[in-house]
Chain A
Amino acid sequence: MTRAALALLALAAASPAAPAQPAPVDFGREVLPILSDACFACHGPDAKARKARLRLDDKDSPFDRGVIVPGRADASELVARLTDPDPERVMPPPSVKRKLTPQQIDTLTRWVDQGAKWGTHWAFERPRADAVPKTTTPAATPIDAFVLARLAREGLRASPPADKERLLRRVTFDLTGLPPTPAEIDAFLADTDPKAYEKVVDRLLASPRHGERMAAEWLDVARFADTHGYQMDRYRAVWPYRDWVIAAFNRNLRFDEFVTWQLAGDLLPNPTKEQRLATAFNRLHMQNEEGGVVEEEFRVAYVVDRVNTFGTAFLGMTFECSRCHDHKYDPISMRDFYSLFAFFQNIDESGQTSYFTAATPVPALLLSTDEQDAKLDQLRRAVTAKELLAVKEREAARAAFAAWKRPDKLDVSGLVAAYSFDEMTGNKLPNAADATKPGSAVEGPKLVAGKVGQAAVLTGENGFTFPGVGHFTRDDTFTLSLWVKPTDHAPRAVVVHHSMAPIDAGSRGYEVLLENGRVAVGLHHMWPGNALKVRAKSAVPAGAWSHVTVTYDGSSRAAGVRVYVDGRPVELDVVRDKLTKDITYGGSEPNLALGYRFRDNGFKGGAVDEFRVYDRALTAAEVASGHGLPVPDLFEYFTAVHHEPTRRSADDLRAARKALTAFVNPIPEIMVMDELPEPKPAFVLKRGAYDAHGDRVAADTPKVMPPFPAGAARNRLGLARWLTDPGHPLLARVTVNRAWQLMFGRGLVETADNFGTQGARPTHPELLDWLAREFVSSGWDHKGLLRTIALSATYRQSSRATPELLARDPHNELLARGPAQRLTAEMLRDQALAAGGLLVERLGGPSVRPYQPAGLWEELAMGRPRYDQGRGADLYRRSLYTFWKRTVPPPAMATLDAVDRSNCSVKRQATTTPLQALVLLNDVQFVEAARFVGERMLREGGRTPAEQTAWAFRLLTGRRPTDAERTVLARMFAEQKAAFERDPAAARRLLAVGEKPCDTTLSPTDLAAAAAVANVLMSHDEAVTRR
């Protein structure tokens, strides 16, 4: 009874206020956000968390069960439960601490009464083509029509235009990241052409500074940094990607291509180097090198990061929620998540970077210059020519072979080491081929009766090293042979290797393993992406002796490796065949070793005997003859050993290969995507755990979004095609929203990183859709998009707010005034450098190391790396070139709200803290720049201190001071000057701050006073903000 009475009361109270025809409630914009925030945690997409088997993200569930009776709020359990006085029955239950407001309850009630019209979340529907509204006050541009229409509804008016000085400063920072110069201000003030402002916007968009400004934003999205981010946090050379971003924005690469190249440049037909370079975007996540990590755990973490970044950057979706469970709010299931995961994992990578080498994580792109490419081409052609010549010489040897007198016994040459394991002197193992290079026993392997005399038995942790033996490069030929007797078929047993470690060194070197008893041979630069590996198709027996011979012909090809067991060649599977750089350590070579390896599975329980090393690839005949087998055709043996022209051509070939290696080795590389021919199997990972495989999934896009295009390849390129389809509901909206955020400090969707049901609703949905559609139909013209926004009257309004407007709309959601934004970390420093005339403008190049308080890296970072501060021009480059060390980011920038670049981030904070004040006031970079502003004001600012300080004020704020301000400024200068006159030594100390020497022709007290004034003016509101 009571419940019914209350419901009636609520209705009675609501009805007089409601107009005769209540405004229709919009499901997507008004109802769904309430359901999502208040109900979905228990009645949403996550099947596991669902209570009472009721889901409110899908209409069937509540409709079928009568929880919602369309048109009858009074009969709908959903509505009744909202106001149920029984704490056991009221929804949401008090325990979840999400109480609905009366307005929200009213919205839901009206919606049910109006028929409970269902729909989808607005962001999953195509942008609507709403007509540009007619407005009573004429609108300068369509943007303004949308904004004015909303203002009219709110009973507000737009603000007058900003004054020219402030507008110029605003737009110059927004589009180039730098302040206007006094000359530019003068020119703009003097230009009475009605198109004066338009000309400025076009000038700014054409400036190369524009690309730098856009890149500074994009680097947050791409989580760009100069180091790997974990543990040692070592250097990664990824700056060429940053330079590509700058260039792409400067030449206004179509935004759909900008996205496609980054996602899938490697999959484009005949991709250019630039298109492949762009895919570094997917590799910029942190990478771990910590010894002992579980490789798969971090490989999965990297792929997850790619998916999350893809979601945030291009779709404004929080996919990360669906890694461990179905999304609680958005219709994104775990299956959706891992179906996207399937797109991003098909590269030959390792979850751990190399600790012992500086190898670029694989797969990598060679960053050769055009000249280097020409040279490389020449060297590769030389190798091919020599290979052909060698074949020709060999074929030409038929006649000589026919005439050759077959020897009774083959003379096997090239033996460089032979260890019989028959005896040891101390821990020395005699070498029958070279007594000066004995082997060394490590951790006491035992000698026992063997295949021939004595043999060594191994524990897996012990074995032998062979100093001075077997330091082969990938261009050398060699042969290894030995008897092995494994006790079992272990998954992995290291028998012989020349390397520092497996994963911790990317397996750099060469190795002979037994994998489930099958002989496996590898030559690796960086496993697995730059490596060569073959494996025998059949196993050697356990518990018995087998003789293994491995030969390698110096070709860097899998086909160049042969394996013989007991003198007979065995069939091999090719595991990897992509070796393009050397297998050595650049001088500090490890010893050839047998039986064990650092952090690896040694030859536990195995026995070895008669280990031999040759510096040439033995032929099949030689190997067979050593086992008393019938000797096959001797032609190969003849040409390799006895035919002078063939031998000469082999030497020439080796020289050509060495020349290529010597040239290619030092050329830097960058991590990129390089799609494997066969996709890796993908699974739902239960609870998100890397090792908890659930159902197998195929590459696919989320069910709630448009279908994957028919006929498109199920790879990243297909994914990019799907994403950049003109009808896609999200990419264009998300992108124009970020552009709006760039210009206004706040997106039309405030949560630029979340367009899901829990994100903010667009303040101007029709405008957002109009901009998105315009953007697509303009050919994804990013400069055009910014131009459109910059030319709107909305953007050009004054940012001044009346107290009433401030109280009504503190965050300027309604756009009744222009934007006022604090400068970013980059802008603040770049402004100081520009104002002081110190800025060195040079596009691109390796990151630089400007001033930083001493000792920061040493105190925290492993291995006590020193921050080698740059000199000269490096101190004065734009801030987007500042070296970004993830574990110790540049402290001034971190203080000024730069993000930490661990994850994709599409929005920075703009806070005001005391630590920021300390940076602007005391950081050497700013103090030195203030000195140069002081110098300029004394020279260029006029004759009197009043004129000079006013000039400096204008330099730093972009506007002329008022009379009242001029008075204060002049007094500030006088005070500082008086102080320095009392203590001239202090003036000299201040002028000595910074590396760039001081102008000695100026009066030190004047200059110090000017610097001291400029120093605090850099902290002035108008200098720190663009208003």
Chain B
Amino acid sequence: MGQRVTGMTANQATLPMAGSIFRFARHGQSGATVSELTPFTARVADELCFVKSVHTEHINHDPAITFCQTGHHLAGRPSMGSWLSYGLGSANRNLPAFVVLVSKDRIDQPLYSRLWGNGFLPSVHQGVQFRAGGAPVLYLDTPPGLSTDARRQALDGLAELHRLQAADLGDPEVTARTAQYEMAFRMQTSVPEVADLSREPRRTLDLYGPEAAKPGTFAANCLLARRLAERDVRFVQLYHPGWDHHGGLPTGIRRQCADVDRACYALLTDLKQRGMLDDTLVVWGGEFGRTNYSQGKLTATDYGRDHHPRCFTVWLAGAGVKTGTTFGATDDFGYNVAEHPVSVHDLQATILHLLGIDHERLTFRHQGRYYRLTDVHGEVVRGILA
């Protein structure tokens, strides 16, 4: 049986090999190979663990990204962040346990709210998207004309009514409701506070670079992610779309790398300076790789690449990761994994392990069976543990 190739190049008459036109060099004591397009990342090469042998089963965006985020390629399973919220609980009284940040203005392939959905887990474990500009969380703002004091008074009145109701009915649900209204009220203060990057000192803003001043950029989101992690938000998922370079790859990849390079460097540096990198895991990757052959015409300065599920690179840093290493390898053509294959489920198992969870034991009973993030697969990649 032939290999799975997408219908975009399956019928292409020739598939010319296309080496990168960008220079790669070795960096840091570890000698990690990093592209000239990510000079900042190169500076923290020794903080990173590159896994070069990740592979997936899916060749199209929607199934592949759903697989990455939920462990299954069809919609309906809980996302990784909601599993963690379910497994670890919340460590914060005023913020959700699972926050999602999406870069503005970089859509090529779409995102779906099911990627941070709770699936069959209780909906309290849903990821909460923080948005740039306006209210950071949907419906966070008190309606115009209602002052915080007036709202407070009204909620106090409601709480009093609820006390009467609870005394009459004896249903603990009434009291639970009051508690949730109080947390909502606190979130109205705590969320804008955490989202306000202007409170950061100048040198921190400088570290992330000028892009961080623009709300919704990847750089601003990295800084916001650090602020959330600092306040014990369990899981922050950042999305930065725009990598689907079927054609015109050189232009596209320059732009994308410029978006993320300095921000990744700054995030790691910032976390390290604050002593947070020891217990914060940072994972960077995509839903699949790209082909070593050109989609469409190959010229000296231009080419495109189709989806490639058989090998791609993900890096990890921070808590419990063996940094300054490169794990796994592909063949000389970057087409197949040559050593230490790591499946998406393996990666998920490893992430859970690093967060203190046995991926086989974090289960939820649904439709009569015990479900887990890694389905019935996944092995912790011992080789990348510190």
Contact = CB atoms under 8 A, between A and B. Distances in A.
Interface of A: 97, 229-233, 286, 288, 290-295, 301, 318, 320-321, 328-329, 459-461, 503, 599-602, 604, 691, 751, 753-754, 756-759, 800-803, 806, 820, 853-855, 859-864, 886-889, 891-892, 894-895, 897, 900, 902-903, 909, 911-919, 921-924, 927, 962, 964-965, 968-969, 971-972, 975-976, 979-980, 983, 985-993, 1008, 1012-1013, 1015-1017, 1019-1022, 1024-1025, 1027
A461 B12 contact: yes
Contacts, number: 271
B112 A290 contact: no
18 contacts: A233-B110, A292-B307, A293-B7, A294-B7, A301-B74, A318-B369, A460-B13, A599-B10, A806-B170, A806-B171, A853-B135, A853-B138, A862-B108, A918-B184, A922-B139, A922-B140, A976-B154, A1015-B154
B167 to A, nearest CB: 9
Contacts of B174: 1021
Contact of B158 (A232, A861, A1019, A1025): A1019
A599 B7 contact: yes
Interface in B7-30: 7-14
Q: Is the interface of B mostly helix, strand, loop or mixed?
A: loop
Nearest to A504: B7
Nearest to B12: A461
Contacts of A801: 169-171
Contacts of A328: 369
A1027 B166 CA distance: 13
Given A231-B109, A1025-B173, 11 more contacts: A292-B10, A293-B60, A853-B139, A895-B138, A897-B123, A900-B117, A914-B183, A917-B181, A986-B147, A993-B145, A1021-B162
Nearest to B176: A912
B146 A990 contact: yes
Contacts of A912: 173, 176-177, 180
Given A290-B62, A862-B110, A911 B14 contact: no
Contacts of A917: 180-181, 183-184
A927 B143 contact: yes
A800 B171 CA distance: 8
B114 A887 contact: yes
Interface in B167-194: 168-174, 176-177, 180-181, 183-184, 187-188
A319 B328 CA distance: 38
Given A853-B139, A912-B173, A976-B150, A291 B7 contact: yes
B110 A802 contact: no
B149 interface: yes
Closest 5 CB pairs of A and B: A758-B368, A990-B145, A292-B6, A989-B145, A460-B13
B62 A230 contact: yes
A990 B62 contact: no
Nearest to A923: B139
B1 interface: yes
B157 A968 contact: yes
B204 interface: no
Given A972-B154, A972-B157, A913 B74 contact: no
A1013 B154 contact: yes
B161 A965 contact: yes
B164 interface: yes
Contacts of B306: 292
B124 interface: yes
Nearest to B124: A913
Given A862-B109, A915-B184, A921 B170 contact: no
B43 interface: no
Contact of A911 (B8, B122, B168, B369): B122
Instruction: Output the residue of A233, A292, A919 with the most chain B CB within 10 A.
Output: A292
B368 A962 contact: no
A231 B110 contact: yes
B140 A972 contact: no
A976 B11 CA distance: 70
B368 A295 contact: no
A990 B139 contact: no
A892 B4 CA distance: 40
A998 B113 CA distance: 35
A617 B155 CA distance: 79
Contacts of A919: 138-139
B145 A887 contact: no
Contacts of B283: none
Instruction: Output the residue of A691, A800, A913 with the most chain B CB within 10 A.
Output: A913
Contact of B13 (A461, A913, A962): A461
A229 B369 CA distance: 26
B71 to A, nearest CB: 15
B354 interface: no
B4 A979 contact: no
A968 B161 contact: yes
A232 B137 CA distance: 25
A919 B109 CA distance: 29
A599 B147 CA distance: 59
B368 A756 contact: yes
Given A328-B369, A915-B128, A1020-B161, A602 B13 contact: yes
Instruction: Output the residue of A290, A802, A964, A980 with the most chain B CB within 10 A.
Output: A290
B257 interface: no
A990 B181 CA distance: 21
A293 to B, nearest CB: 5
B102 interface: yes
B203 interface: no
Contact of A986 (B102, B145, B368, B369): B145
Contact of A922 (B75, B104, B141, B149): B141
Nearest to A972: B157
B15 to A, nearest CB: 11
Nearest to A853: B138
Interface in B73-112: 74-76, 96, 102, 104, 107-112
Interface string B352-385: 0000000001000001110000000000000000
Contacts of B61: 231, 290
A218 B18 CA distance: 52
